[in-house]
């Protein structure tokens, strides 16, 4: 590879990372500042993603659609959150701006975008309209910002978070200007091409090392009306991979639906784990991967299907199913255990880690986010200083990981006591079925959601009174391989 281009590429990566740092450090909502539920990226003139500062895998494959959605629009700075034109679910608000060479993109999960429940994570939404304000790709103006914040429960915080996002874009614009002035626009453009081509070369070579063949796998999600099936067929053919979801259930009457962008993210995540896990993120890495799904099915839903849990829950299951089609892999907790609490005075959102599935060469880590999320937990002290909530317990759920030659990771227990009347929503999975072990390893324990000691279904929205206690027990990971009998 030409070294000058490699050096410019390293500068471009630094710009994306600096954008992310500015966004996190100057944001106001716990979601962005403490949990880092956001990503930033640079795209080239053709709308191809060249570098991404990754915090959250679910944003991986879903950003290119956002740029494609604004490229033909007038203006140079846009906002969107519409899952059916470039977005994922409504709380993920994406900004796209023109730079001297291509586009800068930031995506951040806003703690509330309106809709029927505080924190915009209703368990029982049946249409997208109930999940919050829908913003199709639109030029970003002061009036649009006013309209957006007027529709959210915490307008002041929303405005602050948007300013942090805008600051990240201003920074990217200035840095790209500097880079073009120093290196020349043509050289920077060539470096962008090379970043994309380099990732593509690396991933193609890695796919070529996998055995060719076609395999299918399936699993279920625990929808409000019963279980829905996800079926994936993976075809490895030379240096390309095709993943198809024919055989998957029709779209959910509630909100487990995924727009295809989210489904693609989940597939790219698995390919990334199995090919080049250390490769810097670039769209080229996914050029050899084709993802298809019948229109109107759970993983390629049609407007105006509700989608809020698709991004967190269904995406987790897609990862499990695609892994299973590739070979024997123990499952991780397979849910993000979304907990949202709020009333007219506050909105709080958290996702809780659990057990990772064991690998062929090691135990699964305990108490971590698996698959499509990697958000941090809000510190107990930060949480209690900010919200009318008290954390009563937070510890490992010992013994919840599946036994095996390698043990699955343990889940965790987190108890929250609410100090004011408020509404609770929990969007979770793996309450009926524990994560599966592989190669003879035992399954991990299923998760549990309890309110005042009473067990709840996987998806729940309910009113709480001051003093009520919510307890979340997250699933353990599956084990890998037969455990040796005692004494051996």
Partner 1 sequence: MQSTRVAILGVDVGGTFTDAVLLDGGRVRTAKVPTAERQEESVLAAARAVGARDVERFAHGTTTATNALLERRGGRTAYVGNAGFEHLLHLRRQTRAHLYRLCAQHPEPLVPLERCHGVRGRLGPAGELEPLGEIPDIGDVDAVAVCLLFSFRDASHERAVAGELRRRHPGVHVVASHELAPEFREYERASTVAADAYLAPVAARYLSALADAAGAAGLPEPLVMLSSGGVATLAEASAHPATILVSGPAAGVVGAGLVARRAGFADAIAFDMGGTSTDVCLLPGGRAARVAERDVGGLPIRLPSVDLHTVGAGGGSLVRVDAGGAIHVGPESAGAHPGPACYGAGGGATVTDANLLLGRLPGELPGGLVLDRDAAAAALAGVDPAAVVEVVNAEMLRALRVVSVERGHDPRDFALVAFGGAGPLHACALAEELGIATVLVPEAAGVLSALGLVAGDERRDRVVSHVRPLAEVSDLPQDGEADLRYRGQSFELTVPLQRDLAGAFHRAHADRYGYSDASREIELVAVRTADIVPGSAIDLHATASRTVSGPELVELPGATCWVPDGWSGETNDDGTLVLSR
Please report, as residue ranges, which positions from 336 to 355 form the binding site for partner 1 (by CB under 8 A).
352-353
Closest approach of partner 1 to the CB of residue 95, in Å: 14
Closest approach of partner 1 to the CB of residue 278, in Å: 8
Among 184, 213, 238, 379, binds partner 1 (CB under 8 A): 379
Q: Is 384 in the site for partner 1 (CB under 8 A)?
A: yes
Q: Is 394 in the site for partner 1 (CB under 8 A)?
A: yes
Among 150, 181, 205, 466, binds partner 1 (CB under 8 A): 205
Residues 4 to 33 in contact with partner 1, rule: CB under 8 A: 4, 6-7, 10-11, 14, 18, 21-22, 24-30, 33
Among 272, 317, 459, 471, binds partner 1 (CB under 8 A): 272
Q: Is 160 in the site for partner 1 (CB under 8 A)?
A: yes
Closest approach of partner 1 to the CB of residue 13, in Å: 8
Among 52, 97, 335, 356, binds partner 1 (CB under 8 A): 356
Closest approach of partner 1 to the CB of residue 170, in Å: 5
Whichever of 207 and 301 has its CB closer to partner 1, that residue is 207
Q: How many residues bind partner 1 (CB under 8 A)?
A: 78
Residues 211 to 270 in contact with partner 1, rule: CB under 8 A: 269
User: CA 376 to CA 273: how far, in whole Å?
Assistant: 21
Q: Is 196 in the site for partner 1 (CB under 8 A)?
A: no
- Part of the chain binding partner 1 (CB under 8 A), chosen from 215-223, 227-235, 393-401, 420-428: 393-401
Among 143, 278, 344, 454, binds partner 1 (CB under 8 A): 278
Parallel, antiparallel or unpaired: strands 289-292 and 240-244: parallel
User: CA 430 to CA 449: how far, in whole Å?
Assistant: 11
Closest approach of partner 1 to the CB of residue 52, in Å: 11
Among 126, 187, 201, 242, binds partner 1 (CB under 8 A): 201
Residues 414 to 433 in contact with partner 1, rule: CB under 8 A: 415
Q: Is 141 in the site for partner 1 (CB under 8 A)?
A: no
Closest approach of partner 1 to the CB of residue 312, in Å: 15
Residue 43's nearest CA partner among 85, 12, 87 is: 12
Among 103, 198, 326, 346, binds partner 1 (CB under 8 A): 198
Closest approach of partner 1 to the CB of residue 277, in Å: 4
Q: What is the 3-state secondary structure (H, E, C) of the chain?
A: CCHHHHHHHHHHHHHHHHHHHHHHHHCCCHHHHCCCCEEEEEECCCCCEEEEECCCHHHCCCHHHHHHHHCCCCCCEEEECCCCCCCCCCCEEEEEEEECCEEEEEEEECCCCCCCCHHHCCCCCCEHHHHCCCCCCEECCHHHHHHHHHCCCCHHHHHHHHHHHHHHHHHHHHHHHHHHHHHCHHHHHHHHHHHHHHHHHHHHHHHHCCCCEEEEEEEEEEECCEEEEEEEEEEEECCEEEEECCCCCECCCCCCCCCHHHHHHHHHHHHHHHCCCCCCCCHHHHCCEEEECCCCECCECCCCECCCCHHHHHHHHHHHHHHHHHCCCCCCCCCCCEEEEECCCCEEEEECCECCCCECCECCCCCECCCCCCCCCCCHHHHHHHCCEEEEEEEEECCCCCCCCECCCCEEEEEEEECCCEEEEEECCCCCCCCCCECCCCCCCCCEEEECCEECCCEEEEEECCCCEEEEECCCCCCECCCCCCCC
Q: Is 389 in the site for partner 1 (CB under 8 A)?
A: no
Q: Is 57 in the site for partner 1 (CB under 8 A)?
A: yes
Cβ–Cβ contacts within 10 Å for residue 23, how many? 29
Among 150, 181, 250, 382, binds partner 1 (CB under 8 A): 382
Whichever of 82 and 429 has its CB closer to partner 1, that residue is 429
Q: Is 392 in the site for partner 1 (CB under 8 A)?
A: yes
Among 87, 137, 310, 364, binds partner 1 (CB under 8 A): 364
Among 67, 121, 149, 202, binds partner 1 (CB under 8 A): 202
8 Å CB contact between 439 and 480? yes
Q: Is 385 in the site for partner 1 (CB under 8 A)?
A: yes
Rg (CA), the chain: 22
Residue 98 has phi, psi (to 5 degrees) of -75, 140
- Part of the chain binding partner 1 (CB under 8 A), chosen from 143-151, 243-251, 293-301, 387-395: 387-395
Whichever of 59 and 431 has its CB closer to partner 1, that residue is 59
| Residue 263, C-beta contacts closer than 8 angstroms, at least 6 positions apart | 245, 291, 293, 299, 300, 315, 318
Among 109, 153, 231, 369, binds partner 1 (CB under 8 A): 369
Q: Is 189 in the site for partner 1 (CB under 8 A)?
A: no
Whichever of 255 and 331 has its CB closer to partner 1, that residue is 331
Residue 57's nearest CA partner among 82, 84, 39 is: 39
Among 126, 187, 242, 390, binds partner 1 (CB under 8 A): 390
Whichever of 33 and 423 has its CB closer to partner 1, that residue is 33
């Amino acid at each position: 590879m030409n070294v000058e281009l490699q050096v410019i590429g390293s500068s471009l990566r630094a710009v994306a990372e600096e954008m992310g740092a500015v966004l996190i450090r100057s944001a106001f909502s716990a979601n962005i500042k403490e949990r880092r539920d956001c990503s930033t990226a640079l795209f080239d003139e053709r709308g191809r993603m060249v570098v991404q500062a990754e915090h959250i895998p679910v944003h991986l494959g879903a950003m290119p659609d956002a740029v494609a959605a604004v490229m033909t629009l007038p203006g140079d700075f846009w906002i969107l959150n519409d899952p059916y034109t470039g977005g994922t679910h409504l709380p993920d608000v994406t900004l796209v701006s023109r730079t001297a060479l291509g586009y800068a993109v930031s995506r951040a999960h806003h703690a509330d975008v309106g809709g029927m429940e505080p924190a915009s994570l209703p368990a029982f939404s049946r249409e997208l309209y109930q999940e919050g304000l829908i913003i199709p790709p639109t030029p970003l103006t002061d009036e649009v910002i006013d309209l957006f914040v007027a529709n959210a429960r915490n307008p002041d915080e929303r405005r602050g978070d948007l300013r942090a996002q805008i600051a990240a874009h201003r920074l990217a614009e200035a840095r790209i200007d500097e880079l073009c002035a120093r290196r020349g626009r043509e050289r920077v453009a060539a470096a962008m091409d090379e970043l994309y081509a380099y990732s593509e070369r690396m991933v193609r070579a890695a796919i070529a090392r996998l055995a060719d063949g076609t395999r299918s796998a399936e699993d279920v999600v625990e929808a409000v009306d019963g279980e829905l099936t996800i079926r994936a067929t993976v075809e490895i053919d030379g240096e390309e991979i095709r993943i198809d979801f024919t055989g998957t259930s029709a779209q959910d009457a509630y909100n487990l639906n995924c727009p295809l962008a989210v489904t693609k993210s989940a597939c790219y995540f698995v390919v990334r784990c199995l090919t080049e896990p250390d490769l810097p993120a670039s769209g080229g890495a996914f050029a050899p991967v084709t993802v298809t799904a019948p229109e109107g099915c759970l993983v390629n839903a049609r407007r105006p299907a509700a989608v809020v849990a698709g991004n967190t829950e269904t995406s987790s299951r897609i990862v499990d199913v695609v892994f299973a089609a590739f070979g024997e892999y123990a499952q991780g907790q397979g849910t993000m255990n979304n907990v949202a609490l709020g009333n007219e005075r506050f909105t709080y959102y958290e996702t809780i880690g659990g057990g990772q599935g064991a690998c062929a060469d090691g135990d699964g880590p305990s108490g971590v986010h698996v698959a499509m999320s990697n958000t941090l937990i809000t510190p107990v002290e930060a949480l209690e200083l900010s919200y009318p909530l008290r954390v009563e317990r937070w510890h490992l759920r010992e013994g919840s990981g599946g036994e095996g030659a390698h043990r699955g990771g343990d889940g965790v227990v987190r108890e929250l006591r609410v100090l004011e009347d408020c509404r609770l929503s929990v969007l979770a999975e793996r309450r009926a079925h524990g994560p599966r072990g592989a190669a003879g390893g035992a399954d991990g324990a299923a998760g549990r959601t309890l309110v005042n000691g009473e067990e709840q279904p996987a998806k729940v929205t309910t009113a709480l009174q001051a003093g009520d206690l919510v307890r979340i027990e997250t699933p353990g990971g599956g084990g890998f391989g037969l455990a040796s009998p005692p004494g051996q």
